[in-house]
Amino acid sequence: MLLLAVFRSKLTSHLMVMIVEYGAGNEVSAYGDVYSYGILLLEMFTGKRPTDDLFNGLNLHSYVKTFLPEKVLQIADPTLPQINFEGNSIEQNRVLECLVSVFTTGISCSVESPQERMGIADVIAQLFSARNELLGT
């Protein structure tokens, strides 16, 4: 029952994101999909919903953008496994750079103007690059 409530809550927030995008008169397109994907990235890595009261008139996109890159740990979900630094400073730097890259990708996907958003191929390349940076490969 709890899982269903969480799913319904997440689904509702994602539908609201799509409604805003398409309610503005934009046609259904790959740009809208990229926007939704960007918001999903920001949600997963902050642990916040797009409609969170914490934003005080801002939205998730603006909230994350104001903290990057210097204060990335303040917005990262503390339950992410790599956030608890027990390793050396090289590992810490890798984690921080990965988080900044993922958040920057989410920001680039969720800009207001559809034509200014990243293409999905670029999104994939950025995320693979972030993963490789984290792994040191």
Check: CB of residue 106 under 8 Å from CB of residue 39. yes
Q: Where are the domains of the chain?
A: 2-135
pLDDT at 50: 86
| CATH assignment of 2-135, among 1.10.10.10, 3.10.180.10, 3.40.50.150, 1.10.510.10 | 1.10.510.10
Q: Which two tokens stand for residue 102?
A: 């993922």
Question: What are the distances in angstroms from CA 40 to CA 116, 121, 132?
Answer: 18, 17, 21
Q: Which residue has the higher pLDDT, 31 or 27?
A: 31
Q: Which of 29, 46, 69 is nearest to 58 (CA)?
A: 46
- Output the pTM of the full model: 0.77
Asked if residue 110 has pLDDT above 60, the reply is yes
CA 61 to chain centre: 8
pLDDT tens-digit series, residues 50-94 = 888 887 778 999 999 999 999 999 999 988 876 666 666 878 888
